[in-house]
Amino acid sequence: MDEGRAADVAAIVAVKHAYFRLLDTKAFDDLGELLTEDATSAFESGKLAFEGRQGIVDFLRRSLGDPGIVTMHTGHHPEIVLTSPSTAEGIWYLEDRVIVDAQDFELHGTALYEDEYRKVDGRWRISRTGYRRIFEERLRRKSGEVLTFTTMFDTS
């Protein structure tokens, strides 16, 4: 891979890492700057789909903005493919935790993020993002009781 392509891949990786950091620190406006104006999303295997930067940011703020909800999102093993000088696709392995102590609730799961990126004014941004769950476990935080456990392999 030539230097320019390697720099593009590194810039895309940095954008996604910033996305996870800004999500967990509830810096939703800053997270929005990582998205193209016409970005789309499909969270929870497409069940939660949104169009436009503001629509995505508003959803994230509504869902996770409460300071009583703490989250951890880590993206691993990026598979980035440059599809043109200004577009790319990526797959990330996600591990996430959501803790709502006041409701004695914790979610832990994994998923595959499938993203598209576009270079706008010399900066890589996310133009499409979303994930398909591999597994999701919902627990009572204090007792550890498993409330539900689902996987992508469930047939029902």
State residue 65's pLDDT score: 97
Q: Report the percent of the chain where pLDDT is more than 90.
A: 90
Residue 108 lies inside a defined structural domain of this protein: yes
Place of tokens 């392995």: 93
Using pLDDT thresholds of 50, 70 and 90, give the confidence band for residue 45: low
CATH number at residue 40: 3.10.450.50
How many domains are there within the chain?
Answer: 1
Domain span holding position 86: 3-151
Residue 87 lies inside a defined structural domain of this protein: yes
Q: Is the pTM of this model over 0.85?
A: yes
